[in-house]
């Protein structure tokens, strides 16, 4: 079998389902500190999505039901890189975010898992060991 001749150059966005776009935008903007780049909707209808910038990757919040998709939160975490996992965790805990377990040290990185208001699992992440080829 011959491999297709395409070249993926990067990830443009990651879609995150939501049942409540207003609450999701508030959480991602005001709790996580991400910048909103757009809100999208069809003419005359309520907004059905919003995009927020997380470094070089866009997080695209979508109201799943508005697109005919059954709402189901992501149960596998999206890793959000931070400079200091413990400092970020403390800040989020002070804002009322509950974490799912203690911070994990894997031997190469620190991880701390939590959920957004819709139940999508997110992770604070920081790799401290060098990457190997």
Q: Give me the mean pLDDT over the 75-101 stretch.
A: 97
Judge contact between 97 and 114, C-beta under 8 A.
yes
Does residue 5 form part of some domain?
no
Does residue 4 form part of some domain?
no
Does residue 55 form part of some domain?
yes
Q: Give me the mean pLDDT over the 109-124 stretch.
A: 98
Which domain CATH number covers 55? 3.10.180.10
Q: pTM score, two decimals?
A: 0.89
Last-in-domain residue among 69, 85, 105: 69
Does residue 64 form part of some domain?
yes
- What's residue 131's pLDDT? 83
Q: Are residues 37 and 78 in the same domain?
A: no
Q: Give me the mean pLDDT over the 116-126 stretch.
A: 98
Query: pLDDT, tens digit, for every residue of 8-67?
Result: 898 899 999 999 999 999 999 999 999 999 998 888 888 899 999 999 999 999 999 988
Of 11, 18, 24, 7, which Cα lies nearest the Cα of 79? Answer: 11
Does residue 122 form part of some domain?
yes
Which ranges constitute the DSSP H helices of 1-133?
21-26, 85-94
Does residue 115 form part of some domain?
yes
Q: Are residues 91 and 61 in the same domain?
A: no
- What's residue 3's pLDDT? 73
- What's residue 125's pLDDT? 97
Q: Are residues 132 and 80 in the same domain?
A: yes
Q: How many domains does the chain have?
A: 2
Last-in-domain residue among 23, 53, 69: 69
Q: Are residues 64 and 26 in the same domain?
A: yes
- What's residue 67's pLDDT? 87
Does residue 6 form part of some domain?
no
- What's residue 133's pLDDT? 64
CA distances from 40 to 27, 33, 44, 52, 91 (A): 18, 20, 11, 12, 30
- Its domain, for residue 21, covers 12-69
How crowded is residue 64: how many other Cβ atoms within 10 Å of its Cβ? 20
């Amino acid at each position: 079998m011959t491999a297709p001749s395409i070249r993926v150059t990067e990830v443009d966005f990651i879609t995150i389902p939501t049942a409540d776009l207003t609450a999701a935008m508030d959480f991602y903007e005001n709790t996580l500190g991400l910048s909103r780049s757009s809100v999208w909707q069809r003419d005359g209808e309520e907004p059905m999505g919003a995009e927020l910038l997380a470094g070089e990757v866009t997080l695209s919040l979508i109201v799943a039901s508005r697109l005919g998709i059954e709402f189901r939160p992501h149960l596998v975490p999206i890793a959000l890189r931070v400079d200091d996992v413990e400092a970020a965790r403390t800040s989020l805990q002070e804002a009322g975010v509950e974490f799912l377990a203690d911070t994990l040290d894997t031997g190469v990185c620190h991880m701390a898992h939590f959920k957004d208001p819709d139940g999508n699992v997110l992770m604070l992440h920081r790799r401290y060991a060098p990457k190997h080829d």
